Amino acid sequence: MHISVVAGHPAQAPQIIAVILAGGQARRMGGGDKALRMLGRTTLLECLVARLSPQCAAIVISANGDPRRFEAYDLPVIPDSTEDASGPLAGILAGMHWTATEHPDATHILSVTADTPFIPDNLASRLASGTQNAPHPIACASSGTRIHAPVALWPLGLKNSLETFMAGEDRKSVQNFASRRGFVAINWPIIPYDPFFNINTPEDLEKANELVLSGLIID
């Protein structure tokens, strides 16, 4: 169940830890770490870190494998906390566990996929404001008619519920879990560009570079 709103003026955000979901295998791009692909003169990951840093109390990278490939970013790298499950929900759960231990005063995590380099600079505050007057605990980003469930604000109080959900058959579906717990969709316009444009193919990366060169993207 969810409701859709267009948030008004952003409210004071709770203490939020950003979790960058960088576990994708980039099969449609020839493999490797999608987060380390170049966008202009920087990487997708560096773009996200620059946009998230002013919005959150801390940033952590969710990725399996050798964490040393991300050492240039000087950020914690955490693997999935479940051995028999993968995908965004596994990264979100790992982020919740890490946050509960390393930042016990935090109230929420903000999950963002590593292939969405143009996220808004008010993402955290607008998602937080959207839950204040809504009956649901989760706020998901949306643009146009599409809900971007992995880009969402999650209260840490849902950690146990998520663990239980991931023991079921549909454990990989972020939107299924959000729907069961209830979420509000916070919408952004897609003109002049979709801030949640995600890069899945070489053609998408080319389009993203064209956006950067066009001057529409404001750092």
Fold (topology level) of 2-214 = Spore Coat Polysaccharide Biosynthesis Protein SpsA; Chain A (3.90.550)
Q: How many helices (H) and strands (E) does the chain have?
A: 6, 10
Mean pLDDT to the nearest integer, 111-135: 92
What pLDDT does 8 receive? Answer: 37
pLDDT tens string 33-83: 899 999 999 999 999 999 999 999 999 999 999 999 999 999 999 998 766
Band the pLDDT of 103: cuts 50, 70, 90: very high
Q: What is the 3-state secondary structure (H, E, C) of 28-81?
A: HHCCCCHHHCEECCEEHHHHHHHHHCCCCCEEEEECCCCHHHHHHHCCCEECCC
More confident residue, 214 or 3: 214
Rg for the chain (alpha carbons), in Å? 16
- Residue 170's pLDDT band, with cuts at 50, 70 and 90, is low
- For the chain, percent of residues with pLDDT exceeding 90: 74
Tell which wins on pLDDT, 197 or 10.
197
Q: Please tell me the predicted confidence (pLDDT) of residue 80.
A: 85
What residue spans define the domains of the chain?
Answer: 2-214
Mean pLDDT of the chain: 88
When pLDDT is cut at 50, 70 and 90, the band that residue 27 belongs to is: low
How far apart (Å, rounded) are the C-alpha atoms in residues 49 and 177?
26
Query: CB 181: neighbour CB atoms within 10 A?
Result: 18
